Amino acid sequence: MDKKIEGFSKNLKRSLESNKYDYGHVLVIAGSKTMPGAGVLCCNAALRAGAGLVTYAVEEKFLLNAQAVANAEIMFFVYSHAQDIINFIKAKKVSAVVLGPGMVLNYGSLYALAKEIICSVNIPIVLDASALSAFNEKTDEFKYAKAKLVLTPHIGEFKALLFGKNNKLAALNSWSKEIMDLKVRKNIVKKFAKDHSIIFTLKGHNTAVSDGESIYVNDSGTPAMATAGSGDVLGGIIAAFACVSRDLYSAVCAAVFIHALSGELAEKEKGVTSVIASDIIENIPNAIIKHFGKI
């Protein structure tokens, strides 16, 4: 087991005199008319992973859809523009952000929203799903971010990020073959993280995480996790762990491991074909106890 993950448990310990504000405020910017649940899954994962407060930021036209599938612990914030979110982050002392789950991919407007946010606040921001896809073929923009960016694509999303819709490029065909080799994949992940000054997590079998200097490869997990919302769960865990650690890279590595272990535990209960994202969330406490003990 990676030493960074072993040492992360100290960040999860709680003082008897602590309160919810000591464990961070996660803001999840997510949702649409047809996918409000993606944000709820992300919020619930953050709560189960220890975040003190979690707020779901949603456009007003999607608010009722999101509230209809949310549980009582989730707070809501309605926004119209990026500046609304930036003001909220500063006023409410948000510790970490997840941007993208379940959002409609309108390249122009979502790109503008995401770019303004990541260039305006100096906190960890997980870019996932549609918010990540909004930067397809625009990865140079990550270099100018003020935020501490964490990218979490699977291989298909990473291809689109680099090559866009040019799926017939010879370079893409060669790249697709090369990245299946673990040694090559590790080098690609490490280089991308370093070139863009981010923490890069390439999801899949043997998920690889790098800050540009170090590389962590997670060999746990199960095909049972190949289910809708699994990535949203990971984003929530990353954000929650980022709230309690000054070492963002260690937080991401620990989150990837706990996410995978939660999936393994869910599979033991439900079987490889029947695990859903909510099952992974419900096993986050079990995974934390199993690996770190009753902290």
Q: Would you say the pTM of this structure is higher than 0.85?
A: yes
Tokens of 203: 């999801």
CB 28 within 8 A of CB 42: yes
Residue 256 DSSP one-character state: H
Tokens of 120: 């305006």
CB 180 within 8 A of CB 156: no
- 222 carries a ligand binding annotation: no
- 38 carries a ligand binding annotation: yes
> Running along the chain, 295 residues long, what does each successive block of 10 average in pLDDT?
82 96 98 98 99 98 98 98 98 99 90 98 98 95 97 94 73 81 95 98 96 97 98 99 98 98 98 99 98 79
Distance CA(98)–CA(27), nearest Å, equals 6
- 204 carries a ligand binding annotation: yes
- 25 carries a ligand binding annotation: no
CATH no. of 3-12+20-288 = 3.40.1190.20
CB-neighbour burial class of residue 229 (10 A; exposed 0-12, middle 13-18, buried 19+): buried
Residue that is written with structure tokens 């992974």 in the block? 280
- Phi, psi angles (nearest 5°) of residue 207: -55, 130
- 205 carries a ligand binding annotation: yes
- 232 carries a ligand binding annotation: yes
Say how far residue 247 (Cα) sits from the centre of its chain.
16
DSSP three-state, residue 153: coil
Residue that is written with structure tokens 């959002």 in the block? 103
- 166 carries a ligand binding annotation: no
Distance CA(268)–CA(275), nearest Å, equals 9
CB-neighbour burial class of residue 261 (10 A; exposed 0-12, middle 13-18, buried 19+): buried
- 108 carries a ligand binding annotation: no
Distance CA(7)–CA(69), nearest Å, equals 36
pLDDT at 2: 74
Q: How many CB atoms lie within 10 A of CB 167?
A: 11
- 102 carries a ligand binding annotation: yes
Strands of 68-163, DSSP E: 75-79, 96-99, 124-127, 148-151
Distance CA(157)–CA(139), nearest Å, equals 13
- Give 208-211's long-range contacts (Cβ < 8 A, gap of 24+): 209/249, 209/252, 209/253, 209/256, 210/186, 211/248, 211/249
Q: Which amino acid is at 82?
A: A
pLDDT at 176: 81
